[in-house]
Structure 1
Amino acid sequence: MALLKKKNNIQQAVEKKRIAGVRDEKKRVLQKREAGLLLRPVVTEKSAALGASKVIFFVPVSANKVEVARAVEGVYGVKPVAINTVRILGKRKKNKFSRSLGKRSDVKKAIITLPEGSHIDVFENV
């Protein structure tokens, strides 16, 4: 009987490995936060001059580099090589008529470096 129990344990171990393999093969689903993380691309002459290997996006101020990398990989299917972020503080402006002081919203730009041979068409329909 001891031999039969060993065989049964081996079969269970093989089944567990098969199930683990299936879980690894499943595609990762985009989370809500990742899907809406890339607000819009920065379409300027300066961003176009960076070349095809770099793309600039506006992202929320609270976003970090890891979240931006996951969002780019999930939306465009390209794993970025590097990500640099720049926070731009909103300018304080005075209203012309009421003379009250206001403030424009802060923004954050993510400069995404792509691997060689891959590109994202941001300037396609501009």
Structure 2
Amino acid sequence: MKTKIIIMLILGLVSVSTIQAQKQRDDFKIQVDGLGCPFCAYGLEKKFKEFKGIKNVAIDIETGDFTFTFPSDKKLTLLQVKTQVEEAGYTPVTIKITRANGEIEVSEKEKE
């Protein structure tokens, strides 16, 4: 009986730590102007992979939506994202960051 309780406690702790590890990522959504083909999307993705730790990258060429997650402890800023998009050769229309703690940051154009 004690063995079952100990196993259940261990499984519970592992589950909680896994959930917390997943929650420690910020969500980024950028509307990008100028994406016209898969090669363009690849170039943008490649530029952002310079940020070590980027995951869950998704780019919709038709809408210009570019999303990814990034470790919250590295605190990627709106300015860094804007600069990276521009260095890749594109124009960021809007940028929205949803931090792991629930805080939301948006670029100036989206605030209007």
Q: Give the shorter-chain TM-score range.
A: 0.3 to 0.5
Higher strand share goes to which structure? 2
TM-score normalised according to structure 1 size: 0.32
Indicate the structure whose relative CO is greater, using CA pairs within 8 Å and at least 6 residues apart.
2
More helix by share: 2
Taking structure 2 as the reference length, the TM-score comes to: 0.35
